[in-house]
Amino acid sequence: MRILIVEDEIKLARLVKEVLEEELYQVELAFEGETGLDMALSGSFDLLILDIMLPGMSGLEICQELRQEKCNVPVLILTARDAVPDRVEGLDAGADDYLTKPFSFEELLARVRALSRRRLHAEDVGNPVLKLADLEVNLETHRVRRGGKLIDLTAKEYFLLEYLIRNAGRVLNRDQIISKVWKYDFDASSNVVDIYIHYLRNKIDGNSSTKLIQTLRGTGYSLRVD
């Protein structure tokens, strides 16, 4: 997930960038409004975090311009303006969420995750099939095919594969996989992820010369084409 932060407080922008990158997001920065708008209109970002008070043009003007250009990328307003009329103005300008300074990074990350889920759901409605090489995962029917052949998966195997293909190319560690697929904590010594990766690899890669499920020793797993 690629995130653009448009924020003229350079130290804050770099700190937020560092926090997001620790969560494996790809982050770029802009420190004034017009540059931020040009970057946002490139269409290569999955989320924008905008301050309101910016040199050149305000975050609200950026948001309004994006919506006029039919750019539907989610926008999170991040600002010190915390009055109710300011919040209303931001949301009416086309923002999807509004977070006031000072803020906790835990809340910022939670809001980023929520906007990410909302965006993925909107994309799923228009395109319910995710593909990588000859692998196809239908998000509506939960049917999985490799090379056109239907693959029978258990519910947990399917949700593990869905999480991997939604993050294709990205390395996911065991804690991330457990929190998203199992949604509760295992004992630190549990090897449940490794076991299910083994099951999934046998079904997805077993009969194919192209192996999609990759292991990065000491790091985690990735679904990708080398």
What is the CATH number that goes with domain 129-223? Answer: 1.10.10.10
Interatomic CA distance for residues 44 and 65, integer angstroms? 16
Interatomic CA distance for residues 31 and 205, integer angstroms? 45
pLDDT tens digits for range 111-131? 898 887 766 555 555 567 888
H helix or E strand, kind and range, residue 222: strand 220-223
pLDDT tens digits for range 23-49? 878 899 999 999 999 999 876 788 999
Interatomic CA distance for residues 159 and 1, integer angstroms? 19
pLDDT on residue 183: 60
Which pLDDT band, with edges at 50, 70 and 90, does 188 fall under? very low
pLDDT on residue 119: 62
Pick the CATH number of 2-124 from 1.10.3720.10, 3.40.710.10, 2.40.50.140, 3.40.50.2300: 3.40.50.2300
pLDDT tens digits for range 65-113? 998 888 888 999 988 887 888 888 888 888 889 898 889 999 999 989 8
CA distances from 186 to 27, 124, 126, 172, 173 (A): 31, 30, 35, 17, 14
Identical fold, 2-124 and 129-223: no
Please determine, for residue 214, whether its predicted confidence score (pLDDT) is greater than 90: yes
pLDDT tens digits for range 130-185? 889 999 998 878 889 999 999 999 988 998 999 999 888 888 888 888 877 876 55
Q: What number is the average pLDDT over the span 184-188? A: 52
pLDDT on residue 29: 95
3-class state of residue 149 by DSSP: strand
Segments making up each domain of the chain, as ranges: 2-124, 129-223
Q: Please return the burial class of 12, using the count of CB atoms within 10 Å of its CB with bins 0-12, 13-18 and 19+.
A: middle
pTM score: 0.56
CA angle (119 as vertex; 147, 68 as ends), nearest 5: 120
